[in-house]
Structure 1
Amino acid sequence: MRIAIIRLSALGDIIISASFVSCIVEIFENCEIDWYVDSRFAGILQDSPLIKTYAIPLKTYIKTLNFRALFSLYRKLKEKEYDYVIDMQGLLKSAFIGSFFQTKKFIGFDKKSIKEPLASFFYQQKVEINYQESITKRNAKILFEALKPSKDFENFFQHATKSRSRIFGYTQGAKTLIQQEIFQDKKNILLLLEASLEAKSYSTRRIIELLKLVKNKEWGFLLLYYQDFDKAKEIFESCKNNVAIKIMPKINLDAIKALVDSVDLVIGGDTGITHLAWAMEKASITLYGNTPLKRFELLGVHNISLSGNEQANYDRNDFSINHIEPSLILEGIERVL
């Protein structure tokens, strides 16, 4: 059985979607899964032992109006034949890509269940689920309805959640690099300093307050930044005499997977790397502000969610993540570790 999955972006969404595919490979032992992803995020799925990744520079083609490249992509994908094509994204661009393949079963969400309702017109089978339902349930539901791996959705959901980490892999080179950077004699706590929106990032002031509360000398804090080195430097300089702390070098997605797999705890906003911690079955504390906890919470024995706004509605100017008291995060660290 050959399956194509389309989830082009964004990083956190790809991670959550991929988490449920491990279960499919377990249930259908002879299936082959090809995953189509935007080139910017392909690294998160590369080196997977379970799927083959196809990177598509779709955003670049569209942004540069490269119609020749788009036509060439169409011709290449038109040659692919699958038993099932599953659009786990539900946008016009993902539905458009899925329509290129040769298949008798193209599955996606119905028009009431997705952000861009027009996408549903491309699908031969349409899956209904409330758009405000939790992201984990939505991703599991579309795979369940497409492939019917069992008679009971809840049993499938529980099974899929427990086997989620198997899909992610990384190179030995990435592992070696990370082992040189982390604390060898302490519990490693990874602090994520940035997110896709400033409203999803815990402020410099609040992080410093948190680290000033720490008394446990057996913990080591790793600061991971993306663009804002000044934020990392300010936190480091303010706290270096209080806790064991390092600024991580800039690393690629391969090394980020190795890093998450090597630390004892990940703390950050509602962003891709906290999603990855959950997906790789690592302990995490996820901080929510402008995104609704009920929809995005990632549940697990060692996964804690804290929200600064119970009425969150995606407002980019909602910085309520900073309403979360550092003392609550410290309590979470102590509980998990």
Structure 2
Amino acid sequence: MALRVLVVKTTSMGDVVHMLPAVEDLLRWHPDAQVDWLVEAPFAAIPALHPGVQRVIPQAWRKWRKKLMERVTWQALGKVRAALREQPYDLVIDAQGLLKSVMWALQAPGLRVGFDRHSIREPLASAFYQRKVAVSRSLQAVERNRRLMAAALGRAFEPEVPAQFGLAIPQEATWRAPVDRYALLIPCASRIEKRWPEPDWLAVGERLKTAGLGLVVLWGSPDEEQLAQRLAGPLGAAVPPFLTVREMAAVIGRAQIAVGLDTGFSHLAAAYGLPTVGVYCDHEPGLAGLTGPALVQSLGGKGRVPERAEVLEAVERALATLVVSPACD
């Protein structure tokens, strides 16, 4: 009988992307496993793009927690609980490591597995796991997730096996870049502290243009769209309309290279195998740096905004990995 596994990894986009290699490992060891995934609704498109994930169960806790006294909220909560309890699982793997995530894990019948109290973000959550796994908190997120999955399955972690993400590129596309070969600029972030100076973005964009690439500037909110348009004007770049995560994945997966802030879109670009330069202005990349099968470079950190020259040097290294088409000779 096929192994049934529920993955609980709900937020945020980058964290969800970082869980994909662990699912790849699971399917390498158990090709016929049935994998379900509980995730916040805005990010449900990410596990849905993995062909090995049979069922994605979306929830909207970020929205529901603000309306807990409303009947409609309890009805929605009940639907998710019913979905989790349709069939028993062999393993319920909570890779989020929070009280809110383990409360969801408790709704699903099955052996609950998670990080032990020394490895987890909220130690109290580990009390609810039936199997606890020790994984150093100093490791990068992808490796932590892969080690958790290996232990849950009674396997030895295989560091010699490269992390694979297994994401399909959506074939349908509501918006396409005006050129076939293009670079992504991902300059937008929800917090001002994470942003990089606009003149530096313009310099990077100009260098990518001289490499024969078109430019696409990504955004996710009205405020971010204004920044994207400001950069796109002098660069002659394309700015897509508002796109869902799935629609954005179609744009990202077809690009050649990406330069972006520490955002979910940058992590998605790296997962799709784009040479990706990450610009970290307010967060250390060590535990959540870019990971992917192509050349990925995470620059900067907490209190250390990357210099323009440093990013341009990384762009040169990334460009050197691209296969040059005759049109760009």
Task: Verify same fold: TM over 0.5.
Answer: yes
132 and 331 in structure 1: CA distance in 2 versus 1, 3 angstrom threshold:
same
Q: Cα distance, 1:336 vs. partner?
A: 3.0
195 and 148 in structure 1: CA distance in 2 versus 1, 3 angstrom threshold:
farther
Distance of 1:331 and 1:20 partners within structure 2: 31
Q: 3-state SS of the aligned residue for 2:113? A: strand
Distance of 2:20 and 2:313 partners within structure 1: 31
Q: Tell me the equivalent position of 1:61.
A: 64
Query: Equivalent pairs: percent with the same residue?
Result: 24
32 and 213 in structure 1: CA distance in 2 versus 1, 3 angstrom threshold:
closer
1:277-288 matches, cutoff 5 A: 277-288=269-280
Q: Tell me the equivalent position of 1:336.
A: 321
CA displacement 1:272-295 (0-9 Å, x = unmatched): 112112222222111222222322
Letter in 2 for 1:55: P
CA contact 1:109–1:128 (8 Å) conserved in 2: yes
- Does residue 8 of structure 1 match 2:10? yes
Q: Tell me the equivalent position of 1:142.
A: 148
Q: 3-state SS of the aligned residue for 2:282? A: coil
Letter in 2 for 1:280: Y
Q: Tell me the equivalent position of 1:323.
A: 307
CA contact 1:134–1:297 (8 Å) conserved in 2: yes
Q: Cα distance, 1:217 vs. partner?
A: 5.3
333 and 127 in structure 1: CA distance in 2 versus 1, 3 angstrom threshold:
same
Q: Tell me the equivalent position of 2:168.
A: 169
Letter in 2 for 1:189: A
Q: Cα distance, 1:144 vs. partner?
A: 0.7
335 and 271 in structure 1: CA distance in 2 versus 1, 3 angstrom threshold:
same
Q: 3-state SS of the aligned residue for 1:165? A: coil
Of 97, 100, 107, the residue aligned with 2:104 is 97
Q: Which runs of 5+ in 1 are unaligned?
A: 313-317
330 and 29 in structure 1: CA distance in 2 versus 1, 3 angstrom threshold:
closer
Of 239, 243, 248, the residue aligned with 2:235 is 239
Distance of 1:285 and 1:297 partners within structure 2: 10
Between Structure 1 and Structure 2, the one with more helix by share is: 1
Q: Cα distance, 1:182 vs. partner?
A: 4.0
Letter in 2 for 1:237: G
Q: Cα distance, 1:213 vs. partner?
A: 4.6
- Provide the TM-score with structure 2 as the length reference: 0.86
Letter in 1 for 2:191: L
CA contact 1:201–1:321 (8 Å) conserved in 2: no
CA displacement 1:194-232 (0-9 Å, x = unmatched): 124333332322101323455625111111112222212
91 and 297 in structure 1: CA distance in 2 versus 1, 3 angstrom threshold:
same
Q: Which runs of 5+ in 2 are unaligned?
A: 323-329
Of 209, 222, 234, the residue aligned with 2:216 is 222
1:246-257 matches, cutoff 5 A: 246-257=238-249
- Equivalenced residue count is 312
Distance of 2:183 and 2:102 partners within structure 1: 39
1:1-150 matches, cutoff 5 A: 1-51=3-53, 52-65=55-68, 66=70, 68-69=74-75, 70-71=77-78, 73-103=80-110, 105-149=111-155
Instruction: Give the RMSD, CA atoms, in angstroms.
Output: 2.2
Distance of 1:169 and 1:264 partners within structure 2: 16
- Provide the TM-score with structure 1 as the length reference: 0.84
Q: Cα distance, 1:135 vs. partner?
A: 0.9
Distance of 1:301 and 1:100 partners within structure 2: 36
Distance of 1:75 and 1:278 partners within structure 2: 35
Distance of 1:61 and 1:301 partners within structure 2: 37
Letter in 2 for 1:137: E
Q: 3-state SS of the aligned residue for 1:190? A: strand
CA contact 1:33–1:50 (8 Å) conserved in 2: yes
Letter in 1 for 2:233: E
130 and 26 in structure 1: CA distance in 2 versus 1, 3 angstrom threshold:
closer
Distance of 1:145 and 1:324 partners within structure 2: 42
Say which is worse superposed, 65-74 or 36-45, in terms of deviation. Answer: 65-74
Q: 3-state SS of the aligned residue for 1:202? A: coil
Q: Tell me the equivalent position of 2:186.
A: 192
Letter in 2 for 1:58: W
